[in-house]
Structure 1
Amino acid sequence: MGHAGETTLEEWVVKIALVGCGAVTQAVYVPLLSRRRDVFEVTAVCDLSQTLADTVADRLGAPGRHTDLGHLLAAGGFEAVLILASGSHGEPVRQALAAGYAVLCEKPLALTRAEVAALPEGRLMVGYMKQYDPAVRRAEELLAELGGPEKIRSIEVTVLHPSGESQLAFANLTQARDVDPGLLASLREAESGLVAQALGASAPERVRALYGVALGSICHDLSLLRRLSGSPAEVSHVETWGPAPGSIEISGPLRAGGRFEIRWHYLEDYPAYRETVVVHHDRGSLELTFPSPYLMNAPTTLTVVSRDDTGAESRNEWRDVTEAFEVQLDAFHAFVTEGVPPRTDAAGALEDIVTAQRIAARYAVQHDLQIGGEAA
């Protein structure tokens, strides 16, 4: 930070490192960070693939290129780290915090409660970009004006999820083909061990698969429930059907009253990603319709349903093309430079992990399947 009279906090360019150079980094973070050089300078990147590290570093003008997280953190030259790799982020976040860096970690924070408990004190923000969507923020404001979570009768979520390949076909992604297969196998084995810690070593594959979807995709909806009404008091029903990963239905009571229901469908050849979150309250509804998360500046639509002065139904639509991922990056900048609290910290991310474990446990109990570990 500059001396008084030279640089304001808003003008403070934060030097950052990126960990993970895969699909989300290439399709979302590279274009955003390329146009937001007013607040961030990428000085180093890290990926298991040297090809991906070089590709992303070239596009962002980053001199540091690493294939080992320990080497990246030791080399330094930055103030904050963005953890964007796939899988559990518990261990890389632990290392980055222990090294003294501020961290923005993509969801999920971890696969187990134990990983969260092992994190040292530090500055950690967990990335759920939909919480920063302007339409979501507007819905929160309207709900507060109506009287808050106690006024909610139900929250109904529907997700239509095409293949990731079809959603990202436009992005012309660079593929990684230079990572040692033995290293990849050891990482998969370690991740399987974490899932066993969460669900028990005897949990069958369909319970493990359900847990993977809950933490990999449905966690976005759990984070919205947490913002709108608080994390669910319990999970009372879970069902799955269709070819894996298939369709998933989850329901239960909300903490302040009312109920929630989530229906998530993996549809390989569905034309486009679609997600709706509808909040029904005593005087109307708030309906959020989300586009594909990889389409920059595609607006989420908020439809407000109420009665007008004559008693007739009124439907008003609200849109803002401000990109949610970009708002999230601005929030991280404010977190690093001014200490503005994030919308999700370690405690909030832990709530989502606990809810995902409750989902897996309820499904196992309903179908007389083995469940153990933290979920038991």
Structure 2
Amino acid sequence: MPSRIARVGVVGAGAATQAIHLPTLARFQDTFRVTAVTDVNEALAADVARRVGATAVSSLSDMLTDDVPDVVVICSPNPVHAEQVIASCRARVGAVLCEKPLAMSVGEAENIARVSRETGVPVIVGTMHSFDPVWQTVSRRWAESGASAHTVRIATHIPPNPVTEDLATEVTGRPAGPSVASPAPSRPSLDDRIARLRGGVLGLAIHDLPLARQLLPDAPLRVIAVREPAPGGYLILADVGGHLLEVFGGSSRNWFPDWQLEAIGDDNALLADFGPSYVHAGSAVADLTAPSPETGFTSTRMGPTTDNGYMRLWRSIGDLLDGRGTAPALDTLVADLAFAIELADQATNLLATQPAPTEVRA
């Protein structure tokens, strides 16, 4: 970790900042200190800054001019991620952590990579499962064994975000959701369905698509089916070089939270069970099954550990600042985003050609 306390500037004071990053940073008070917070909602920025003993500033530009932080955390709306990451790199901060997605297009991501190389500022994307210590161990063992998956499944069942956000902290400034007494919404338009599907891929599935890419061949992706489970969600089937990728996400207040990634091969299997993203309860638990001459197969369970993915992410940032870590490969970050955007583009294009669905229960 850094030899001195690193100053952290936070851009965007919403739920991700309040329920994920601030509780995580509170565990590293000898390593990181939030010194500046900015948000388009100045009252919210002031409230969050007060809670952590930081200064509320009016803009990212002011943050990067007055007292340049060691780390800038981008938790702002997705469309401004790229310009804010690039501005932070050009200010020669020590590192930039950007919540997913890194950008809204491959071209924007390539620009980020170019500026990051020019300035030497490392860029990290907040896909927390990539940093989960148990995932890193089980995926390494899978690769070392030479195993191959014919099917990779991502399955995410989550309640509405406020349910788990409130388990982490008291979130202020959050827009009010619909009242229980509100009338049932009318059938969504095609534009609404497309926006919801794209938002599901680039807002939720994107956490685990980089992990799926590790388990799949480097081959063209082709979406072959899209469904819309009720009461809200998505199911996408894709072919990746002859291997099947299944991506499911659904939300219901009555469902028990469940977030899994599974790889199935002819002789091997991997199942990683992650906790809800706003619950700071340690790492994933993973089972790795492989052939055994004595018993036919053997199954090894790993985890949980005390550290979760966000803790390991911030530990890795500390190592970068102290000159001991290795920055994520920029080409990989761009390729991860390109894969997610291609999945979203093909899925929404296919959805647009289908008739409006009859209700399908998940």
What is the TM-score when the length of structure 2 is the normalising length?
A: 0.82
Other-structure match for 2:181: none
CA distance in 2, matches of 1:337, 1:231: 34
Q: Which amino acid aligns with 1:221?
A: D
For the 8 Å contact 1:167–1:273, the answer to whether it is kept is no
* Equivalent position SS for 1:71: helix
- Deviation at residue 157 of structure 1 after TM alignment: 1.8
Other-structure match for 2:186: none
CA distance in 1, matches of 2:38, 2:133: 31
Other-structure match for 1:36: 28
* Equivalent position SS for 2:199: helix
Other-structure match for 2:359: none
Other-structure match for 1:213: 200
Other-structure match for 2:262: 278
Q: Which amino acid aligns with 1:142?
A: R
Q: Deviations over 1:164-203 (max 9, x none)?
A: 122223245343289xxxxxxxxxxxxxxxxxxxxxxxx9
The alignment status of 1:109 with 2:102, answered yes or no, reads yes
Other-structure match for 2:279: 295
* Equivalent position SS for 2:322: helix
Q: Report how many aligned residue pairs link the two structures.
A: 331
Other-structure match for 1:133: 132
* Equivalent position SS for 2:299: strand
For the 8 Å contact 2:231–2:251, the answer to whether it is kept is no
Other-structure match for 2:165: 168
Other-structure match for 1:223: 210
The alignment status of 1:67 with 2:58, answered yes or no, reads yes
CA distance in 2, matches of 1:213, 1:135: 25
Q: Could you tell me which runs of 5 or more consecutive residues in structure 2 were left unpaired when the two chains were aligned.
A: 176-189, 355-362
Q: Deviations over 1:60-87 (max 9, x none)?
A: 222x211322111111242221112232
* Equivalent position SS for 1:16: strand
Alignment partner for residue 149 of structure 2, among 145, 148, 152? 152
The alignment status of 1:323 with 2:308, answered yes or no, reads yes
Other-structure match for 1:142: 141
Other-structure match for 2:42: 50
* Equivalent position SS for 1:342: coil
The alignment status of 1:305 with 2:304, answered yes or no, reads no
Call closer, same or farther: CA 1:228–1:172 in 2, change over 3 Å: same
Other-structure match for 2:343: 359
- Deviation at residue 131 of structure 1 after TM alignment: 0.6
Identity across matched positions, percent: 23
- Deviation at residue 152 of structure 1 after TM alignment: 2.4
Call closer, same or farther: CA 1:231–1:56 in 2, change over 3 Å: farther
The alignment status of 1:333 with 2:318, answered yes or no, reads yes
- Deviation at residue 215 of structure 1 after TM alignment: 0.9
For the 8 Å contact 1:30–1:56, the answer to whether it is kept is no
Alignment partner for residue 237 of structure 1, among 205, 217, 224? 224
* Equivalent position SS for 1:45: strand
Greater displacement, 53-62 / 327-336: 53-62
* Equivalent position SS for 1:294: coil
Other-structure match for 2:180: none
Call closer, same or farther: CA 1:239–1:70 in 2, change over 3 Å: same
Call closer, same or farther: CA 1:249–1:177 in 2, change over 3 Å: closer
Call closer, same or farther: CA 1:227–1:56 in 2, change over 3 Å: farther
For the 8 Å contact 1:131–1:227, the answer to whether it is kept is no
Call closer, same or farther: CA 1:331–1:230 in 2, change over 3 Å: farther
Call closer, same or farther: CA 1:21–1:282 in 2, change over 3 Å: same
Call closer, same or farther: CA 1:329–1:230 in 2, change over 3 Å: farther
Q: Could you tell me which runs of 5 or more consecutive residues in structure 1 were left unpaired when the two chains were aligned.
A: 1-8, 179-202, 371-376
Q: Which amino acid aligns with 2:135?
A: V
For the 8 Å contact 1:80–1:103, the answer to whether it is kept is yes
* Equivalent position SS for 2:208: helix
CA distance in 1, matches of 2:217, 2:31: 32
The alignment status of 1:258 with 2:249, answered yes or no, reads no
- Deviation at residue 56 of structure 1 after TM alignment: 2.5
Q: Deviations over 1:299-326 (max 9, x none)?
A: 3111122344532554332112212101
